Structure 1
Amino acid sequence: MDSVSQIALGSALTIATLGRRTAVWKAAFWGLVAGTLPDLDVFIDHGSALANMINHRGNSHSLLYLLLLSPLLGWGIARLQGEGAHWRRWWLAMALVLVTHPILDWFTIYGTQLLRPFSTEAYGLGSVFVIDPLYTLPLLIGIGVALCRRSFAGLRANRIGLALSCLYLGWSVLAQQYVGGVARESLAAQRIAAPQLLVTPAPLNTLLWRVVAMDDTHYWEGFHSLFDPDRTMAWTRHERGTALQAQYAPQAPAVQQLARFADGFVKLERQGDALYLSDLRMGSEGRYSFRFLLGSPAEVAAGQSRAEQQPLQLPVGEALRELWQRIWHRP
């Protein structure tokens, strides 16, 4: 999730765990710090934009490593605050904050390597978008009330914010499963055989969902709003560039690396005299969040490929209008 959501979750959990054992602002501050720690890996340069993408949410998001860090962090904060008698409570708070950070990231589709060092598999449920105000706002409101009303009522408001945010995550999973069923019915009715299915929410909400269905050579993209009057989805068919992948993947490690990271949901295309590699999971057709220039076909064939991330040029106002219209079934 985005940094604001992780900070809000960290602060809310620490306030709830410490209760009246420390000042609310102290709990909120240290929750903010701990909630930010795992994402500091973005400052590590792994040599290329693609390598940075794949290695983000790696060791710093390992459940094991974060659990091992939590007693040291909790003890250090307790000593620094002069609250040594409560160091176990600080340990519990830090453990909760650190572990829930990658778990919250798991709800997005990006890919979080939860089981390092035993596995580099990147897990992503994909039931929430990386930025979702309906998840974050209850946390922020609860924290704000707790900071302003330093009483039992403030602590209760913080707990209510946490409960609402958890319920929202549960709702997102149920909505995802429903849309997945709608997509499978629609594909079967239109006689589209695409065994691999990806269901993710459109930006900023869990009312409009994007579905990608994929076979060995093509993929179909469709959208379904929970307000659509029927369960029929419209699909657009696109080439995955499998012939290009077979031709250039041996000389371009980036193709194999991204395909493994994205569970095969990638596209390789040629535009003019350049080859582009896209992650189909994030964004939409023509607007992919992660799109990499590999070089010219001659460069790639000669083993001189690169992976330069292309900036996403998105007219925000127009995109938000399109999003709002499509949610209410006004394409």
Structure 2
Amino acid sequence: MDTGTHIVMGIALGGFALADPVVASNPVTMTAVISGVIIGSLAPDVDTVLKLRDNAVYIRHHRGATHSIPAVILWPILITGGLSLFFPEANLLHLWLWSFLAVFMHVFVDIFNSYGTQALRPISNRWIALGVVNTFDPIIFGAHVLALTIWAFGANPVWTMSVLYISMFIYYLVRFAVQAAIKQAVRNTIPGTDKVFVAPTMRFFHWRIAADTDRHHYVGRAYGRAINIYDKFMKKELPDNNMIQAALKDKNMAAFISFSPLYRWEINEYGNIYEVRLIDLRYRSNDYYPFVAVVHMDKDCKILNSYTGWIFSEDKLRKKLDYSHN
């Protein structure tokens, strides 16, 4: 989820923590626990700073190690240890328990969007992305803000958050049901489909779709159960030649492939420059495919420059790449 949603989720969990008699009866423990759950709700996303280095590192590692099984164990220990310096009289066991729940909930809810996490590391490096809610879901965010507002006006926080969590559980079930119905509608619309990706948007009934058959890639949108196919691409295997082999060794290209399960490729020539481009088919927006990996090389397959990330126009892509060699 986005940072704002993680923050309101952390505050809501702090309200629910008052169901714990040890927390509710001790002001110092209460303050420490509320601080701990808010910090725990944000801590796994500390790897966002990787974006300052470059996109390849960010794509490969964001929601990786910091969302792994060891991290879920380590974060609460660090949070409890740090807060104990400021709240030495707090009950450390209960501080650790609620901090652990906050960290676990952060990683758990991230599984449900289309980016996903590597939550099973080190057992498995597979990305787990269920794709039933958008990274920012206005209904989830709005429900939390409403619950926090009701709490602020004096309602019992435990009962308020209990109603919130029950509502969210039902909402997620509905989202799974809608996603399943859309996948079936895609299979009915495109005979022979062997792979279907359904990605949510901020609109409840609007979903991005990408599907594979043995011969073609299909890209479109779903509005309820109505399927609109916008693009159809012939399915082609990457050629096995020196140019492709050199491109695949580039860190930006490798990061893209590690993250994207459905893409097409292009090879273009611009004067003395050869371009290899991989295009993720899951994120079509306004007739454009913004998530790409691009490698430029010379005729000897020496890489001149490369880029991977989100680009919404060719002009911006050109600015990202160094064209001084033109």
TM range (shorter): 0.7 to 0.9
One-letter amino acid of the counterpart of residue 194, structure 2: P
CA distance in 2, matches of 1:9, 1:245: 48
Question: Residues 87-166 of structure 1 correspond to what in structure 2 (within 5 A)?
Answer: 87-149=92-154, 153-166=156-169
The 3-state SS of whatever aligns with 1:112 is coil
Partner of 1:209: 207
The 3-state SS of whatever aligns with 1:223 is strand
CA contact (8 A) 2:297 2:304 kept: no
CA distance in 2, matches of 1:251, 1:285: 32
CA distance in 2, matches of 1:212, 1:297: 33
Q: How many pairs align? A: 301
Deviation at 1:281, TM superposition (A): 2.6
Partner of 1:74: 80
Partner of 2:246: 251
Partner of 2:186: 183
CA shift in 2, pair 1:285/1:293, >3 Å: farther
The 3-state SS of whatever aligns with 2:190 is helix
One-letter amino acid of the counterpart of residue 268, structure 1: W
Deviation at 1:139, TM superposition (A): 1.2
Deviation at 1:222, TM superposition (A): 2.4
CA distance in 2, matches of 1:147, 1:82: 28
CA distance in 2, matches of 1:163, 1:6: 18
Q: What TM-score, normalized to structure 2?
A: 0.79
Partner of 1:52: 58
Deviation at 1:287, TM superposition (A): 3.2
After the TM superposition, which of the residue ranges 129-138 and 41-50 deviates more from structure 2?
Answer: 41-50
Q: Which has the higher helix share?
A: 1
Partner of 1:275: 276
Q: Percent identity?
A: 20
CA shift in 2, pair 1:244/1:205, >3 Å: farther
Partner of 1:325: none
Question: Residues 279-298 of structure 1 correspond to what in structure 2 (within 5 A)?
Answer: 279-284=280-285, 286-296=287-297, 298=299
Partner of 1:8: 8
One-letter amino acid of the counterpart of residue 165, structure 2: L
CA distance in 2, matches of 1:67, 1:218: 44
CA shift in 2, pair 1:247/1:128, >3 Å: farther
Deviations, residues 228-272 of structure 1 (Å, cap 9, x unaligned): 5xx565453024563458664421234454233222x12222456
Tell me how large the CA RMSD over aligned residues is. Answer: 3.0
Deviation at 1:37, TM superposition (A): 1.0
CA shift in 2, pair 1:165/1:216, >3 Å: same
Deviations, residues 148-170 of structure 1 (Å, cap 9, x unaligned): 42x5x243223322332232222
CA distance in 1, matches of 2:111, 2:241: 31
CA distance in 1, matches of 2:215, 2:258: 17
CA distance in 1, matches of 2:135, 2:290: 12
After the TM superposition, which of the residue ranges 203-212 and 53-62 deviates more from structure 2?
Answer: 203-212
One-letter amino acid of the counterpart of residue 302, structure 1: K
One-letter amino acid of the counterpart of residue 221, structure 1: V
CA contact (8 A) 2:219 2:282 kept: no
CA contact (8 A) 1:64 1:115 kept: no
CA shift in 2, pair 1:44/1:255, >3 Å: closer
Deviation at 1:113, TM superposition (A): 0.6
